[in-house]
Amino acid sequence: MKKLFLILVNIVFIFNISLATEISGEAEVIDGDTVKINGKKIRLFGIDAPEKNQICKKNWLSVSFFTFNKNYYCGKVTTKKLKKFILNKEVKCIGNQIDRYNRLIAICYLRSKDINMWLVRNGLAVSYKKYSSKYLHQEKLAKKEKIGLWQGKFDMPWEWRKKNK
């Protein structure tokens, strides 16, 4: 029984590898966690970025024990920075799942740099723990260094979507 189980696990593993889809080309940024290459939408795996209309707060001024916050559209900031990061460059995305919106769920690369990781490490997106813990370490570093979203207050993107249906 154990041998049969191991054989089945290996078959599933091999089958998943063979189903991997790779798409390369110049990427159009749709939002902070979605790009389009050659007409195919791709959802960045393991991360969640603020929505375009999501408002976050960042520390604007601190005096003694008072901190003044400034509202900003954090989703638009993430989208803009991602556009600048990949502007006119070849992007390669590799994934093996399709989401309910018919997008390939993938890890995307600019040369050998993991774009998904770059977004989380720079505080522009968060680790989407519901689906993966792959980028949790990068999130902890960004939070510790108070960069990007972590320099102020924000709702996790999935919480913001739930409140703003």
> Is 5's pLDDT higher than 70?
no
DSSP 8-state code for residue 45: T
Does the pLDDT value for residue 155 go beyond 80?
Answer: yes
- Global pTM? 0.84
Domain assignment present for residue 11? The answer is no
Specify if 138 maps to a domain.
yes
**pLDDT per position as a tens digit, 50-80:** 999 999 998 776 666 666 789 999 999 999 9
Residue 123 has pLDDT above 80, yes or no: yes
Q: 154 pLDDT exceeds 80?
A: yes
Q: Is residue 42 part of a domain?
A: yes
The number of domains in the chain is 1
Structural domain harbouring 149: 20-163
Domain annotation covers residue 147: yes
Q: Is residue 1 part of a domain?
A: no
Q: Alpha helices of 1-135 — where are they, by DSSP H?
A: 2-18, 74-86, 115-121
| pLDDT beyond 60 at 23 | yes
Which has the higher per-residue pLDDT, 10 or 53? 53
Q: CATH number of the domain that 106 lies in?
A: 2.40.50.90
Establish if 55 belongs to a structural domain: yes
Tokens at residue 84, please? 């600048």
